[in-house]
Every structure is written in structure tokens, then in C-alpha cells.
């Protein structure tokens, strides 16, 4: 199929909208480099738009009314948004669901050590990464350290120009003859991904008459002293910390024509942002609109903050209860009657690696919102396979609103593939299809997207939610 034109057809008003959206998008990427930071940013945004926290709403009591705006936060790492529609929940919701976790390196529980005058923090990478991409680039450290008394120290080091950054070393080319013989998966081993955090020893001047005190690991001691002085963190506090190492620096416009965005964490924050943006544009909706922004997708959607947890279902039960109609059957009906766009990225066709793709079923960067009827690989294994009837319904909505879209698969049939949260939601019996933005060099420290795709996808989400606001 011929790809539809995008850039050529935009009016000057649309081009302006596109630039505003993409500027906001870059800010979103810069301010939310971890799932916790994303949740903070989102809570600030939705509270300004009049959203009320579920706990607060439950305290207020009274029946749920149309037009109410509610949000629920899951352990500071996931968030659900609801715009209550005219119809009862039992009739189903229009759901957008994206994930806000991204591949990175997590700091281990006992991370700090010194070797030959260099201090390191030991890491365990999170999600699918090509490990060799993460060495010798400036890295920043984000996250929380929760102390025994319950206080939380929030860290974000390496983003301001005056901040220090961290890095993983790589062997110099002059001595790399053996390393370069290794397979790419083994060039940098997981245990070699430790970040360098110091090289200066702590010197303690001896008091008069006392002998000079020698630290066993003076460089490590210096790091610990800095952590204590600057953040009031002790070495044991790493035990109750969640610290993530991500590429330092801001998302940038890319290309002479500034047509693309290059930045960290676009899988899947590009879909999280566009979903959220579309969601907040919608004011009055017939069917209740729901936006799910969830954690742990990159490691299989497991755990209390992943899509497979009961959090989403529990919140729906609370809302049905607020409607005054609680029964298990009503909750099940609400879920089964829902429609969902699983807002997740797709792999953009890469001409430099053409052999990995089947071109006529590949997502082209700059050719619009991407729908994946199915993900999975090698015989569609593990895939949510969206229903033809539902796809026809979605096609009509998109065509009516003149959204430019394409249908794609993730790479060649036998070459691997990827999953999303679609199949987890599909188990409720609801119609779900993957829909999002094509990403070039997905899961690399810096990923690329097309500004036009960001814009079209946002428009597609708006159309899906009920054509509100546009």
C-alpha cells in the first residue's frame, strides 16, 4: 500500500500545533526519566486540570457523576486517569494504555565498591538492552532512597549542566584485539556495566599527637562522605533505594529539517505522552475515558505496579461501587465491554538494516500512527491478535477524523519480536489493538521518532476517545 502524505498536507495551523506538541513532548521526556518522575509530572498536570485523587474522592462519598475526573496512583510508579462519561461503566470504557518504564541500569542493593583507586556502583540492567551501547556515554542517576525513619531522599544527578555525570568504561581500541573477536552480546558483559562514581581518596588529617588514620578504601570513603554531606545518605540506605542509571542530557530535535526527536525513553513515553495529551484534551465524553500509564512492561508486566497486578481491576471495582452498582458481574461487564488502544511503540523500518524487516509490513518513520494487529513472533506466539471487526471499527474512526495511519508488524516473522500490555487486557474479553508511534533504534540510549508521527498518534488517540477537542 502507498503511504499517505503527511507533512505536505499540513496546514500552517497544524504545523504550529505539531511544533507546540513536540516541544511539550520533549519537556515531558526531560522531566520524566523514570516511572516515578513521570508519575510526579503527570499528577501535577492532571491536578491542574481538576482531577481528584481516588482516595480523596472516596472520602467525599456521594454517587459518581458524569464529567468527574479521577486519578489513582499505584506506588508512585503507575497512574490511572478517568474521565467519567454519560453512560454507566457497565457499558464499557474507551481505554488508552501505555507504559512509563524504560530500559536502563538499576543500582544493586550492595552496590558501592572500590577497585584500584576507582569507586564504582554495581548495576543490574533493566529490560532489553544492547549492553555495548551503554558504555562511555554520560549517565545520570535518578531515583529515591528511603531511610529507615520513612523519609525519602529524591535524587536526580547529572541533568543540570553543573551536575557531575557518571559513566561505564570500555577497553581502549589499542588493546581490543581479543574483545573485538567476541560476539556483540558478549563484548560488554552484564557484570561489567558498573558505573564509575569516584577517583579521589578521602584524606583525614591526624590531630596533634594522634597517628594518621588510614581508610581501607579511601576513594569509596570519599564517595560515602559526599553522599552523607550532600544527601544525608549512609551506605546501608542503598538497601532501601530505587536508583536508576539513564543517559544524561535532554531530548533534542534531530535533522537539518528538525523533523525528528532524539531522546532517551521514547519507548514508551512517546505513547504515554500522546495518550495523556489526547486524554486531557477530551472534556465531555459519552463512554468513560480511561488512561492507563503503567510500570514494568519492559520486564514482563509483573509485580504490583505491572499491568498483570490487580490494581486496575480494583480501581474499576471502586468506581463501579461509587456508581452505587457494585457487583462482581458489573465489574466484569465494564471490562469486557471496553475498547482499548494499547498505546505502544512499533519498530520503525531502518534502511540500514533492511534485511531485518519485511518492508511492506513495516512501520515507516514519518508515515503516521502505527497499528499492530498482532505482535509476538515465530507463529504469532504470545500475541494479542486484534479482531477484524474491531479493526474495521477503528479504521472508520481514523478515516472519519483524517488521521494518517499505517498497519505494521515488528520485523520479519522469524526474527524475534516484542510484546506489549495488549494481551493482558484482552483476557477480560475486551477488544484491544496496539497503536502508537514508530521508533528508530528502539531501546538504545537515545531513540528517534518523527514529529509528524507524534502528532498523528495524538490525533488518533483523540479520535478514539470520542473526537473531543479537535
- From CA 442, how far away is CA 444, in angstroms rounded? 6
267: its cell numbers: 519507548
CB of 127 to Zn ion, least distance (A): 6
Of 99 and 373, CB closest to Zn ion: 99
Of 101 and 318, CB closest to Zn ion: 101
Contact call for residues 70 and 315 (beta carbons, < 8 A): no
- Which region among 66-74, 134-142, 210-218, 261-269 touches Zn ion (by CB under 5 A)? 261-269
Taking CB atoms, the residue at the shortest distance from Zn ion is 267
- From CA 343, how far away is CA 340, in angstroms rounded? 9
Q: For cell 518523527, what's the residue?
A: 450
Of 68 and 267, CB closest to Zn ion: 267
CB of 246 to Zn ion, least distance (A): 14
CB of 398 to Zn ion, least distance (A): 24
Of 73 and 100, CB closest to Zn ion: 100
Residue closest to 343 by CA, chosen among 5, 138, 58, 97 = 97
- Which region among 237-245, 265-273, 333-341, 407-415 touches Zn ion (by CB under 5 A)? 265-273
Contact call for residues 367 and 9 (beta carbons, < 8 A): no
How many residues touch Zn ion under the rule CB under 5 A: the total is 1
Of the residues 68, 101, 267, 409, which one makes contact with Zn ion according to CB under 5 A:
267
SS3 38: helix
- Which region among 218-226, 266-274, 379-387, 430-438 touches Zn ion (by CB under 5 A)? 266-274
Q: For cell 472534556, what's the residue?
A: 283
CB of 99 to Zn ion, least distance (A): 8
CB of 419 to Zn ion, least distance (A): 9
Distance set, CA 40 to CA 47, 51, 68, 74, 290 (Å): 11, 14, 21, 12, 19
- Which region among 112-120, 263-271, 327-335, 429-437 touches Zn ion (by CB under 5 A)? 263-271
Please calculate the CA angle 111-117-120 and round it to the nearest 5 degrees: 20
Of 272 and 334, CB closest to Zn ion: 272
- Which region among 155-163, 260-268, 352-360, 407-415 touches Zn ion (by CB under 5 A)? 260-268
SS3 394: helix
Contact call for residues 29 and 264 (beta carbons, < 8 A): yes
Contact call for residues 448 and 254 (beta carbons, < 8 A): yes
Task: List strand residue ranges (DSSP E) for 378-419, in order.
Answer: 405-407
Of 88 and 418, CB closest to Zn ion: 418
CB of 307 to Zn ion, least distance (A): 13
CB of 264 to Zn ion, least distance (A): 13
Of 194 and 268, CB closest to Zn ion: 268
Distance set, CA 194 to CA 188, 245, 417 (Å): 11, 10, 28
CB of 418 to Zn ion, least distance (A): 6
Catalog residues that contact Zn ion under the rule CB under 5 A: 267
Amino acid at each position: 500500500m502507498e503511504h499517505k502524505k503527511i507533512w505536505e498536507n499540513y496546514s500552517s495551523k497544524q504545523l504550529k500545533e505539531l511544533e507546540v506538541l513536540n516541544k511539550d513532548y520533549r519537556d515531558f521526556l526531560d522531566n520524566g526519566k523514570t516511572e516515578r518522575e513521570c508519575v510526579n509530572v503527570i499528577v501535577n498536570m492532571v491536578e491542574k486540570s481538576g482531577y481528584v485523587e481516588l482516595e480523596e474522592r472516596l472520602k467525599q462519598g456521594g454517587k459518581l457523576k458524569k464529567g468527574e475526573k479521577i486519578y489513582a496512583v499505584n506506588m508512585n510508579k503507575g497512574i490511572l486517569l478517568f474521565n467519567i462519561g454519560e453512560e454507566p461503566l457497565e457499558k464499557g470504557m474507551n481505554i488508552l494504555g501505555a507504559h512509563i518504564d524504560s530500559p536502563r541500569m538499576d543500582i544493586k542493593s550492595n552496590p558501592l565498591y572500590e577497585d584500584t583507586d576507582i569507586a564504582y556502583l554495581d548495576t543490574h540492567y533493566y529490560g532489553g538492552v544492547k549492553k555495548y551501547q551503554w558504555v562511555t556515554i554520560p549517565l545520570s542517576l535518578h531515583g529515591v532512597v528511603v531511610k529507615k525513619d520513612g523519609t525519602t531522599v529524591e535524587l536526580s544527578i547529572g541533568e543540570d549542566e553543573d551536575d557531575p555525570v557518571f559513566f561505564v568504561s570500555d577497553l581502549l581500541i589499542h588493546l581490543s584485539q581479543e574483545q573485538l573477536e567476541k560476539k556483540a552480546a558478549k563484548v560488554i558483559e552484564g557484570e561489567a556495566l558498573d558505573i564509575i562514581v569516584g577517583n579521589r581518596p578521602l584524606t583525614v588529617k591526624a590531630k596533634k599527637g594522634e597517628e594518621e588514620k588510614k581508610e581501607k578504601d579511601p576513594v569509596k570513603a570519599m564517595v560515602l562522605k559526599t553522599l552523607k554531606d550532600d544527601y544525608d545518605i549512609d551506605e546501608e540506605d542503598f538497601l532501601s533505594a530505587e536508583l536508576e542509571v539513564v543517559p544524561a542530557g535532554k531530548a533534542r530535535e534531530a535533522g537539518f529539517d528538525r523533523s525528528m526527536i532524539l531522546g532517551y525513553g521514547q519507548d514508551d513515553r512517546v505513547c504515554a505522552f500522546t495518550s495523556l495529551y489526547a486524554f486531557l484534551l477530551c472534556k465531555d465524553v459519552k463512554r468513560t475515558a480511561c488512561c492507563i500509564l503503567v510500570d514494568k512492561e519492559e520486564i514482563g508486566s509483573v509485580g504490583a505496579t505491572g499491568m498483570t497486578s490487580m490494581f486496575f481491576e480494583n480501581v474499576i471495582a471502586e468506581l463501579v461501587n461509587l456508581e452505587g452498582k457494585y457487583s462482581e458481574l458489573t465489574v466484569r461487564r465494564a471490562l469486557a465491554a471496553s475498547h482499548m488502544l494499547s498505546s505502544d511503540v512499533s519498530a520503525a523500518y531502518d534502511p540500514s538494516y533492511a534485511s531485518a524487516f519485511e518492508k511492506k509490513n513495516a512501520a515507516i518513520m514519518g508515515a503516521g500512527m502505527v497499528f499492530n494487529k498482532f505482535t509476538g513472533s515465530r507463529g504469532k506466539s504470545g500475541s494479542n491478535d486484534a479482531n477484524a471487526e474491531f479493526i474495521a471499527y477503528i479504521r472508520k474512526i481514523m478515516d472519519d477524523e483524517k488521521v494518517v495511519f499505517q498497519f505494521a508488524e515488528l520485523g520479519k516473522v522469524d526474527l524475534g519480536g516484542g510484546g506489549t500490555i495488549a494481551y493482558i487486557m484482552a483476557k477480560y474479553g475486551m477488544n484491544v489493538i496496539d497503536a502508537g508511534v514508530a521508533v528508530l533504534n528502539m531501546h538504545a540510549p537515545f531513540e528517534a521518532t518523527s514529529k509528524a508521527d507524534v502528532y498523528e498518534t495524538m490525533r488518533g488517540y483523540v479520535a478514539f476517545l470520542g473526537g473531543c477537542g479537535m
